[in-house]
Structure 1
Protein backbone atom coordinates (compact mmCIF):
# COMPACT_ATOMS: atom_id res chain seq x y z
CA UNK A 1 0.00 0.00 0.00
CA UNK A 2 2.85 2.38 0.84
CA UNK A 3 4.39 1.88 -2.62
CA UNK A 4 1.10 2.76 -4.31
CA UNK A 5 0.72 5.97 -2.28
CA UNK A 6 4.23 7.24 -2.94
CA UNK A 7 3.71 8.02 -6.69
CA UNK A 8 0.31 9.56 -5.96
CA UNK A 9 1.73 11.75 -3.19
CA UNK A 10 4.67 12.74 -5.39
CA UNK A 11 2.29 13.69 -8.23
CA UNK A 12 0.14 15.80 -5.90
CA UNK A 13 3.16 17.64 -4.51
CA UNK A 14 4.61 18.20 -7.97
CA UNK A 15 1.27 19.49 -9.27
CA UNK A 16 0.91 21.86 -6.31
CA UNK A 17 4.41 23.27 -6.80
CA UNK A 18 3.86 23.75 -10.55
CA UNK A 19 0.55 25.51 -9.87
CA UNK A 20 2.23 27.87 -7.41
CA UNK A 21 5.00 28.54 -9.94
CA UNK A 22 2.46 29.28 -12.68
CA UNK A 23 0.70 31.81 -10.43
CA UNK A 24 4.00 33.46 -9.54
CA UNK A 25 4.98 33.58 -13.20
CA UNK A 26 1.63 35.14 -14.17
CA UNK A 27 2.01 37.77 -11.43
CA UNK A 28 5.64 38.42 -12.38
CA UNK A 29 4.69 38.68 -16.05
CA UNK A 30 2.00 41.25 -15.18
CA UNK A 31 4.51 43.26 -13.11
CA UNK A 32 7.05 43.19 -15.94
CA UNK A 33 4.46 44.34 -18.49
CA UNK A 34 3.39 47.09 -16.09
CA UNK A 35 6.99 48.38 -15.91
CA UNK A 36 7.31 48.46 -19.70
CA UNK A 37 3.88 50.04 -20.13
CA UNK A 38 4.81 52.72 -17.55
CA UNK A 39 7.95 53.47 -19.60
CA UNK A 40 5.85 54.14 -22.71
CA UNK A 41 3.12 55.99 -20.80
CA UNK A 42 5.79 58.34 -19.47
CA UNK A 43 7.12 58.80 -22.98
CA UNK A 44 3.63 59.59 -24.35
CA UNK A 45 3.05 62.09 -21.54
CA UNK A 46 6.48 63.72 -21.90
CA UNK A 47 7.14 62.74 -18.28
CA UNK A 48 10.82 61.90 -17.88
CA UNK A 49 10.36 61.26 -14.13
CA UNK A 50 7.95 58.41 -14.85
CA UNK A 51 10.31 56.99 -17.47
CA UNK A 52 13.31 57.27 -15.11
CA UNK A 53 11.43 55.31 -12.41
CA UNK A 54 11.21 52.32 -14.75
CA UNK A 55 14.98 52.19 -15.32
CA UNK A 56 17.59 50.29 -13.33
CA UNK A 57 20.74 52.13 -12.26
CA UNK A 58 23.20 52.03 -15.17
CA UNK A 59 20.52 51.14 -17.74
CA UNK A 60 21.67 51.04 -21.37
CA UNK A 61 19.82 51.93 -24.57
CA UNK A 62 20.91 50.65 -27.98
CA UNK A 63 19.42 51.12 -31.43
CA UNK A 64 20.23 48.86 -34.36
CA UNK A 65 19.50 50.50 -37.64
CA UNK A 66 20.84 51.82 -40.86
CA UNK A 67 19.77 52.94 -44.27
CA UNK A 68 18.37 50.46 -46.78
CA UNK A 69 21.16 48.78 -48.72
CA UNK A 70 23.78 49.63 -46.08
CA UNK A 71 25.20 47.48 -43.30
CA UNK A 72 23.34 47.89 -40.00
CA UNK A 73 24.97 49.99 -37.32
CA UNK A 74 24.69 49.87 -33.54
CA UNK A 75 24.09 53.15 -31.73
CA UNK A 76 24.44 53.67 -28.00
CA UNK A 77 21.92 56.21 -26.79
CA UNK A 78 22.57 58.34 -23.74
CA UNK A 79 20.03 57.68 -20.98
CA UNK A 80 20.26 61.29 -19.83
CA UNK A 81 19.89 62.54 -23.40
CA UNK A 82 16.86 60.31 -23.92
CA UNK A 83 15.25 61.45 -20.65
CA UNK A 84 15.92 65.09 -21.52
CA UNK A 85 14.35 64.59 -24.97
CA UNK A 86 11.28 62.91 -23.42
CA UNK A 87 10.86 65.71 -20.86
CA UNK A 88 11.41 68.59 -23.29
CA UNK A 89 8.04 69.82 -24.57
CA UNK A 90 7.36 68.77 -28.15
CA UNK A 91 4.32 69.68 -30.23
CA UNK A 92 3.21 66.10 -30.96
CA UNK A 93 2.94 63.03 -28.73
CA UNK A 94 5.61 60.36 -29.08
CA UNK A 95 3.49 57.23 -29.27
CA UNK A 96 5.21 53.87 -29.35
CA UNK A 97 2.60 51.16 -29.78
CA UNK A 98 3.77 47.74 -28.65
CA UNK A 99 2.45 44.24 -28.28
CA UNK A 100 4.00 41.65 -26.00
CA UNK A 101 5.26 38.72 -28.07
CA UNK A 102 7.40 36.86 -25.50
CA UNK A 103 8.11 37.30 -21.81
CA UNK A 104 10.76 34.98 -20.38
CA UNK A 105 11.59 34.96 -16.67
CA UNK A 106 14.23 33.25 -14.59
CA UNK A 107 14.36 34.33 -10.95
CA UNK A 108 15.23 38.06 -11.02
CA UNK A 109 15.94 38.32 -14.74
CA UNK A 110 13.41 38.81 -17.54
CA UNK A 111 13.70 39.12 -21.29
CA UNK A 112 10.82 40.65 -23.24
CA UNK A 113 10.32 40.83 -27.00
CA UNK A 114 7.85 43.44 -28.35
CA UNK A 115 7.07 44.40 -31.93
CA UNK A 116 6.29 48.11 -32.17
CA UNK A 117 5.18 50.97 -34.38
CA UNK A 118 6.26 54.50 -33.52
CA UNK A 119 4.08 57.51 -34.27
CA UNK A 120 4.71 61.22 -33.89
CA UNK A 121 1.21 62.43 -33.23
CA UNK A 122 -0.89 60.49 -35.73
CA UNK A 123 1.94 60.19 -38.28
CA UNK A 124 3.77 56.86 -38.64
CA UNK A 125 7.53 57.31 -38.15
CA UNK A 126 9.11 53.86 -37.98
CA UNK A 127 8.71 50.32 -36.68
CA UNK A 128 10.69 47.32 -35.52
CA UNK A 129 11.18 45.15 -32.48
CA UNK A 130 12.27 45.97 -28.93
CA UNK A 131 14.24 43.59 -26.77
CA UNK A 132 14.03 44.49 -23.08
CA UNK A 133 16.18 43.02 -20.32
CA UNK A 134 14.71 43.63 -16.89
CA UNK A 135 16.01 42.89 -13.41
CA UNK A 136 14.02 42.55 -10.22
CA UNK A 137 15.47 44.86 -7.59
CA UNK A 138 14.28 45.73 -4.08
CA UNK A 139 11.73 48.18 -5.52
CA UNK A 140 10.45 45.89 -8.29
CA UNK A 141 11.14 45.14 -11.94
CA UNK A 142 13.40 47.69 -13.67
CA UNK A 143 14.59 47.97 -17.26
CA UNK A 144 18.33 47.36 -17.47
CA UNK A 145 18.73 47.26 -21.25
CA UNK A 146 16.70 48.10 -24.32
CA UNK A 147 17.83 47.38 -27.84
CA UNK A 148 15.61 47.95 -30.84
CA UNK A 149 15.53 47.71 -34.59
CA UNK A 150 14.26 50.61 -36.67
CA UNK A 151 12.90 50.67 -40.17
CA UNK A 152 10.16 52.34 -42.22
CA UNK A 153 8.61 49.24 -43.81
CA UNK A 154 8.07 45.49 -43.42
CA UNK A 155 7.29 45.89 -39.77
CA UNK A 156 6.03 42.38 -39.06
Structure 2
Protein backbone atom coordinates (compact mmCIF):
# COMPACT_ATOMS: atom_id res chain seq x y z
CA UNK A 1 0.00 0.00 0.00
CA UNK A 2 1.26 3.46 -0.91
CA UNK A 3 2.26 5.93 1.74
CA UNK A 4 1.46 9.36 0.29
CA UNK A 5 2.74 11.14 3.40
CA UNK A 6 6.11 9.42 3.00
CA UNK A 7 6.20 10.36 -0.69
CA UNK A 8 5.46 14.02 0.09
CA UNK A 9 8.00 14.09 2.92
CA UNK A 10 10.64 12.49 0.72
CA UNK A 11 10.04 15.01 -2.05
CA UNK A 12 10.27 17.92 0.40
CA UNK A 13 13.46 16.47 1.90
CA UNK A 14 14.99 16.01 -1.56
CA UNK A 15 14.02 19.53 -2.54
CA UNK A 16 15.70 20.91 0.60
CA UNK A 17 18.87 18.91 -0.11
CA UNK A 18 18.94 20.13 -3.72
CA UNK A 19 18.59 23.73 -2.55
CA UNK A 20 21.47 23.16 -0.09
CA UNK A 21 23.65 21.72 -2.86
CA UNK A 22 22.73 24.66 -5.09
CA UNK A 23 23.93 27.10 -2.41
CA UNK A 24 27.28 25.32 -2.18
CA UNK A 25 27.55 25.01 -5.95
CA UNK A 26 27.16 28.76 -6.30
CA UNK A 27 29.44 29.52 -3.35
CA UNK A 28 32.18 27.23 -4.61
CA UNK A 29 32.73 29.45 -7.64
CA UNK A 30 33.51 32.48 -5.52
CA UNK A 31 35.17 31.07 -2.40
CA UNK A 32 36.82 27.75 -1.63
CA UNK A 33 34.78 25.58 0.70
CA UNK A 34 36.03 24.76 4.18
CA UNK A 35 36.62 21.13 5.13
CA UNK A 36 33.37 21.17 7.14
CA UNK A 37 31.46 22.53 4.16
CA UNK A 38 32.97 19.85 1.92
CA UNK A 39 31.88 17.17 4.38
CA UNK A 40 28.38 18.68 4.54
CA UNK A 41 28.13 18.73 0.75
CA UNK A 42 29.33 15.13 0.50
CA UNK A 43 26.85 13.98 3.13
CA UNK A 44 23.98 15.87 1.51
CA UNK A 45 24.86 14.38 -1.88
CA UNK A 46 25.01 10.85 -0.41
CA UNK A 47 21.59 11.27 1.23
CA UNK A 48 20.06 12.70 -1.92
CA UNK A 49 21.19 9.79 -4.08
CA UNK A 50 20.19 7.25 -1.41
CA UNK A 51 16.71 8.81 -1.27
CA UNK A 52 16.43 8.53 -5.07
CA UNK A 53 17.34 4.85 -4.91
CA UNK A 54 14.92 4.22 -2.04
CA UNK A 55 12.12 5.92 -3.97
CA UNK A 56 12.97 3.81 -7.01
CA UNK A 57 12.69 0.65 -4.88
CA UNK A 58 9.33 1.92 -3.62
CA UNK A 59 8.09 2.64 -7.16
CA UNK A 60 9.27 -0.71 -8.49
CA UNK A 61 7.37 -2.41 -5.67
CA UNK A 62 4.16 -0.41 -6.03
CA UNK A 63 4.07 -0.02 -9.80
CA UNK A 64 5.56 -3.31 -11.01
CA UNK A 65 5.22 -5.53 -7.93
CA UNK A 66 8.99 -6.12 -8.08
CA UNK A 67 10.94 -6.52 -4.88
CA UNK A 68 14.47 -5.15 -4.89
CA UNK A 69 16.63 -6.19 -1.97
CA UNK A 70 19.65 -3.93 -2.45
CA UNK A 71 20.23 -0.45 -3.81
CA UNK A 72 22.85 -1.75 -6.24
CA UNK A 73 20.08 -3.66 -8.07
CA UNK A 74 17.88 -0.61 -8.64
CA UNK A 75 19.31 0.78 -11.87
CA UNK A 76 19.23 -2.55 -13.67
CA UNK A 77 15.58 -3.05 -12.71
CA UNK A 78 14.64 0.50 -13.75
CA UNK A 79 16.23 -0.09 -17.16
CA UNK A 80 14.57 -3.51 -17.54
CA UNK A 81 11.16 -1.97 -16.91
CA UNK A 82 11.96 0.98 -19.18
CA UNK A 83 11.23 3.25 -16.25
CA UNK A 84 14.10 5.56 -17.18
CA UNK A 85 15.50 6.52 -20.54
CA UNK A 86 18.96 5.38 -21.58
CA UNK A 87 20.28 8.89 -20.95
CA UNK A 88 18.70 9.04 -17.51
CA UNK A 89 20.14 5.62 -16.78
CA UNK A 90 23.62 6.86 -17.69
CA UNK A 91 23.19 9.90 -15.45
CA UNK A 92 21.93 7.75 -12.58
CA UNK A 93 24.93 5.46 -13.04
CA UNK A 94 27.31 8.43 -12.70
CA UNK A 95 25.51 9.65 -9.58
CA UNK A 96 25.56 6.18 -8.00
CA UNK A 97 29.23 5.67 -8.80
CA UNK A 98 30.11 9.03 -7.32
CA UNK A 99 28.07 8.28 -4.20
CA UNK A 100 29.85 4.93 -3.85
CA UNK A 101 33.26 6.60 -4.12
CA UNK A 102 32.39 9.13 -1.45
CA UNK A 103 30.86 6.46 0.76
CA UNK A 104 33.53 3.77 0.50
CA UNK A 105 36.67 5.65 -0.53
CA UNK A 106 36.24 8.27 2.14
CA UNK A 107 39.97 8.49 2.81
CA UNK A 108 40.58 9.58 -0.77
CA UNK A 109 39.79 13.11 -1.82
CA UNK A 110 36.91 12.67 -4.26
CA UNK A 111 35.67 16.22 -3.97
CA UNK A 112 36.98 17.17 -7.42
CA UNK A 113 34.61 14.68 -9.02
CA UNK A 114 31.77 15.77 -6.79
CA UNK A 115 32.58 19.39 -7.57
CA UNK A 116 32.33 18.59 -11.28
CA UNK A 117 28.95 16.89 -10.75
CA UNK A 118 27.80 19.89 -8.73
CA UNK A 119 28.85 22.37 -11.39
CA UNK A 120 26.87 20.42 -13.97
CA UNK A 121 23.99 20.18 -11.48
CA UNK A 122 23.65 16.48 -12.28
CA UNK A 123 21.80 15.95 -9.02
CA UNK A 124 18.81 17.90 -10.42
CA UNK A 125 17.78 14.66 -12.12
CA UNK A 126 16.66 13.33 -8.72
CA UNK A 127 13.84 15.87 -8.47
CA UNK A 128 12.75 15.22 -12.07
CA UNK A 129 12.59 11.47 -11.47
CA UNK A 130 10.74 11.89 -8.18
CA UNK A 131 8.03 13.90 -9.93
CA UNK A 132 7.82 11.40 -12.82
CA UNK A 133 7.69 8.36 -10.55
CA UNK A 134 5.09 9.72 -8.14
CA UNK A 135 2.97 10.86 -11.11
CA UNK A 136 3.18 7.32 -12.48
CA UNK A 137 1.97 5.97 -9.15
CA UNK A 138 -0.84 8.52 -9.11
CA UNK A 139 -1.87 7.37 -12.59
CA UNK A 140 -1.99 3.74 -11.36
CA UNK A 141 -4.30 4.57 -8.49
Same-fold status (TM-score > 0.5): no
Q: Is the strand fraction higher in 1 or 2?
A: 1
The higher-RCO structure (CA 8 Å, 6+ apart) is: 2
Q: What TM-score does the superposition give when structure 2 sets the normalisation length? A: 0.32
Q: What TM-score does the superposition give when structure 1 sets the normalisation length? A: 0.29
Q: Which has the larger radius of gyration?
A: 1
